[in-house]
Structure 1
């Protein structure tokens, strides 16, 4: 099984964006040492706790601070941008870091209506144009259009579509891109989406056979009790994000002192369907089961907890359990 990382550069209360980015760099360097396959950063806007608003910039920095791990976007919000410009950006990255760049794209609006308009400079763009944009992006990447996206590269970055339903899987299959299923957002549609993708995949200039992975929240610790304690900060964070209250992660102290209402306990239990929390043995068992259900051999791990050392140790325990003998 392959393991990769999705990192959202989340800010813990009492810290700032600079500290969040420094931790993202440290995590990329350490997971590279541990044998993880790829390291992706997300794109979020108009939110106080998610520092990564410009993945192309952060990708360049991370690639320069690591040696061989693939670095990419999880993902660029294509509906807000020009496919031509995205192709140029990622060809530049590929030229600077040959063979190490992934281009993950998503259909997400990127925030509120006002935020979308700010991103598009007031242009009201339809989300329904996403399939067309994907097709044009593929043409620009592989120089199949009259207008060329330069610089020319020997092998353009692999395009990944990030999806949480069979609709995203269909676009990925029809356009011959790789596909990432966001189990950490929606735990109920993954098998249908991935089955559709693998069954209906159409080869393209960029990819001859289907390639997929699954992204999931994971918190791993030496004991179940410790894992549960660490997970409280992420549980609270998800509650507050969903309510639009705050996207910063609560401190360890705040998490320890928080008393959940009955409704919040129900919501935490529902959110845990998107998460694996436990010992290395438990996490390994559950990932192997999901691997069989999803027919996927690569998982992207996301962990949004308050203490960076807890987060780092979680990835280290995962590597010890699932990547033994594979670290470089």
Structure 2
């Protein structure tokens, strides 16, 4: 079982962007030492608390300071950008870091209405179907003639010796069959809080058609996971993340708070019921290594997971690293 990290570069309360980036640089190198397979950066715009707005630049920088870990975008929000520019960015990255670059194909905006307009310079996207746009991107990556007027130009660098790995991102299961048809990896963000029938993952595997990018189906599922030495510690460090999740459910965004400041906070019965649903559905998992491992192994068997991706913006750096270290030990990485 491979392990991976999903990072929004969530800033802690009172932390500057520069401090958050410095912490992230250090963390990526530590994660590589724990033998995690890949590290993805999200794309979010107009967010005061998540500082990953340009994941391709994060990938380029982190590739230069690491040696073996795969780096990618989780994802690149393709609705905002030209297929040619996306392909050239990732062909450049894979030339600079051969065999280490992933392209997460996100069809959502990663932003609100005003950001969509600003990113598009007020112009509508020329594609009515994001899957058609993905096909153009893939053709460019493979140095093949793209559809429509896109075929009149070539994405450079041309003839790269390695290809980036394209992954179809999903949070509802609807894109799984498209990923299978295109021969792409499928990455499902379970921590978004959307339950999906295991049949979705079976259909992806059954319908998969090999491509130049993948010779067999590959499934990543992302969870919010907090692992600690004791259950009390897990509860303590998870509390700010639970507060953020409850706030988001109410349309609010709050800072990632120091757990010491919120340790005595009591959720209302309705908020607690909402959180209980998250835990019962395994969108969030917390606890000591033994129980967490049992839950994850059941998820792996039920959904047919090839790689676990973990989103855990724990406030305390050492506690965050310890949580990821526990997971590395569970699956024999260290």
TM-score bucket of the superposed structures, by smaller chain: over 0.9
Q: 1:21 to 1:242 in 2, by over 3 A?
A: farther
Instruction: Tell me which of 185, 191, 210 is aligned to 1:178.
Output: 185
Aligned residues: 325
In the alignment, what sits opposite 1:49?
Answer: 49
- Measured in 2, the distance between the counterparts of 1:127 and 1:302 equals 31
TM-score, normalization by structure 2: 0.93
Q: Is the 8 Å Cα contact of residues 181 and 190 (structure 1) preserved in structure 2? A: no
Q: Is the 8 Å Cα contact of residues 79 and 126 (structure 1) preserved in structure 2? A: no
Q: 1:86 to 1:127 in 2, by over 3 A?
A: same
Say whether residues 1:265 and 2:272 are aligned partners. Answer: yes
Q: 1:216 to 1:126 in 2, by over 3 A?
A: farther
- Measured in 1, the distance between the counterparts of 2:246 and 2:126 equals 30
- Displacement of 1:187: 4.5
- Measured in 1, the distance between the counterparts of 2:179 and 2:206 equals 12
Instruction: Tell me which of 206, 217, 220 is aligned to 1:213.
Output: 220
Q: Is the 8 Å Cα contact of residues 141 and 163 (structure 2) preserved in structure 1? A: yes
Instruction: Tell me which of 137, 143, 154 is aligned to 1:148.
Output: 154
In the alignment, what sits opposite 1:318?
Answer: 327
Q: 1:138 to 1:314 in 2, by over 3 A?
A: same
- Displacement of 1:321: 2.1
Q: Is the 8 Å Cα contact of residues 251 and 306 (structure 1) preserved in structure 2? A: yes
Q: 1:127 to 1:15 in 2, by over 3 A?
A: farther
Q: Is the 8 Å Cα contact of residues 218 and 306 (structure 2) preserved in structure 1? A: no
Q: CA-to-partner distance for each residue in 1:35-67, whole Å, 9 max, x for gaps?
A: 110011111011110000000111011111111
Shift >4 Å, 4+ stretches: none
Q: CA-to-partner distance for each residue in 1:239-270, whole Å, 9 max, x for gaps?
A: 22333322521222332142311221112212
Residue pairs, 1:94-105, within 5 angstroms: 94-105=94-105
Provide the secondary structure at the position in 2 that maps to 1:162. Answer: strand
TM-score, normalization by structure 1: 0.94
In the alignment, what sits opposite 2:301?
Answer: 292
- Displacement of 1:127: 7.9
- Displacement of 1:290: 0.5
Structure 2: any 5+ residue segments left out of the alignment? 146-150
Q: Is the 8 Å Cα contact of residues 48 and 247 (structure 1) preserved in structure 2? A: no
- Measured in 2, the distance between the counterparts of 1:200 and 1:165 equals 18
Q: Is the 8 Å Cα contact of residues 80 and 119 (structure 1) preserved in structure 2? A: yes
Segment of structure 1 superposing worse, 145-154 or 67-76: 145-154
- Measured in 1, the distance between the counterparts of 2:54 and 2:326 equals 30
In the alignment, what sits opposite 2:148?
Answer: none
Residue pairs, 1:268-283, within 5 angstroms: 268-272=275-279, 273=281, 274-283=283-292
Provide the secondary structure at the position in 2 that maps to 1:166. Answer: coil
- Measured in 2, the distance between the counterparts of 1:53 and 1:317 equals 29
Q: Is the 8 Å Cα contact of residues 47 and 247 (structure 1) preserved in structure 2? A: no
- Displacement of 1:105: 1.4
Residue pairs, 1:1-328, within 5 angstroms: 1-125=1-125, 128-145=128-145, 146=151, 147-152=153-158, 153-189=160-196, 191-272=198-279, 273=281, 274-323=283-332, 326-327=333-334
Provide the secondary structure at the position in 2 that maps to 1:167. Answer: coil
